[in-house]
Chain A
Amino acid sequence: QQQVKQSPQSLIVQKGGISIINCAYENTAFDYFPWYQQFPGKGPALLIAIRPDVSEKKEGRFTISFNKSAKQFSLHIMDSQPGDSATYFCAATLFGNEKLTFGTGTRLTIIP
């Protein structure tokens, strides 16, 4: 059962552009939504996370937008740079429950 659906599977963005990755979840009890970044040959690492008491969270060039009624959340990368090229995973869980449900990942490529 795929409880977190992620799109697109792959994304190519020009340097300086905005990268947008979307996720939708099914379990309305979920209340913690992290994004993980994974570089080739490395394990995923926590990038940014949001809880549903806010609709947006920003950390530098990375922003999570959250729509509780639509059960969707998205990652926006502003001024995308070649160093942002990586695979991005969204995830969801109940806060305090370490059992994360991951999306299938988006391979992002930033071209000059």
Chain B
Amino acid sequence: DAGVIQSPRHEVTEMGQEVTLRCKPISGHNSLFWYRQTMMRGLELLIYFNNNVPIDDSGMPEDRFSAKMPNASFSTLKIQPSEPRDSAVYFCASSFGQVDAIYFGEGSWLTVV
């Protein structure tokens, strides 16, 4: 099993640019999560999909952030326009509906300058 696959692994972009992060969940998993990790706030859940439908997006910080899951094998997190305070590690995770079996990808390290 390839695990959760995220791309890009590292992204450096200028303030104001659009950033798109991509995630391929583990095959067969029906829940997908986007988390943001910072030193100050730790791991924060941004949005949670179940069967490709957004269930809880209360963690999305503002309208500059959007997420989609067009099918069971792909999701995107988009930031437009990006700001320096968006610099963080963004993790995608997936599960088969079990809270004790949530698997994280290796993260996308975003730096906005």
Given A98-B31, A104-B41, A105-B42, the answer on whether A41 and B106 have CB atoms closer than 8 Å is yes
Interfacial chain A residues near B42, Cβ < 8 Å: 6, 89, 102-105
B106 touches A98 (CB 8 A): no
Interface class of chain A by DSSP: loop
- Of A34, A45, A105, most buried by chain B (CB within 10 Å of CB) is A105
Known: A44-B104, A46-B102. A102 touches B43 (CB 8 A): yes
B100 at the interface (CB under 8 A from A): yes
Task: Tell me which residues across on chain B come within 8 A of A100, comparing CB atoms.
Answer: 45, 99, 102
Q: Which of B4, B99, B104 contacts A32 (CB under 8 A)?
A: B99
**Contact partners of A41 in chain B: CB under 8 A:** 106-107
Confirm or deny: B34 has a beta carbon within 8 angstroms of a beta carbon on chain A.
no
* Chain A hits for B95, CB < 8 A: 98
Which residues in A have some Cβ–Cβ distance to B below 8 Å?
A: 6, 32, 34, 41-46, 49, 89, 93, 95-105
Main secondary structure of the interface of B (DSSP, over half): strand
Return the chain A residue nearest B50 by Cβ.
A98
Q: Chain B contacts of A49 at CB under 8 A?
A: 100
B-side interface size class: 20 to 34
How far, in angstroms, from A48 to B103 measured CA to CA in the complex? 14
Choice from B4, B56, B107 contacting A99 with Cβ under 8 Å = B56
Which residues of chain B in 80-100 are interfacial with respect to chain A, using CB atoms and an 8 Å cutoff? Answer: 91, 93, 95, 97-100
By a CB distance below 8 angstroms, the chain B residues around A6 are 42
B99 adjacent to A98 (CB under 8 Å)? yes
Let me know if B105 is at the binding interface, CB within 8 A. Answer: yes
Given contacts A43-B104, A43-B106, A104-B41, contact A97 B91 (CB under 8 A): no
Residues of B within 8 A of A89 (CB): 42-43
Please give, as numbers and ranges, the residues of chain A lying within 8 Å of B101 by CB-CB distance: 46
**B residues less than 8 Å from A96 (CB atoms):** 99
B101's nearest neighbour on chain A, judged by CB, is A46
Given contacts A43-B4, A102-B43, A105-B43, are A95 and B106 in contact (CB under 8 A)?
A: no
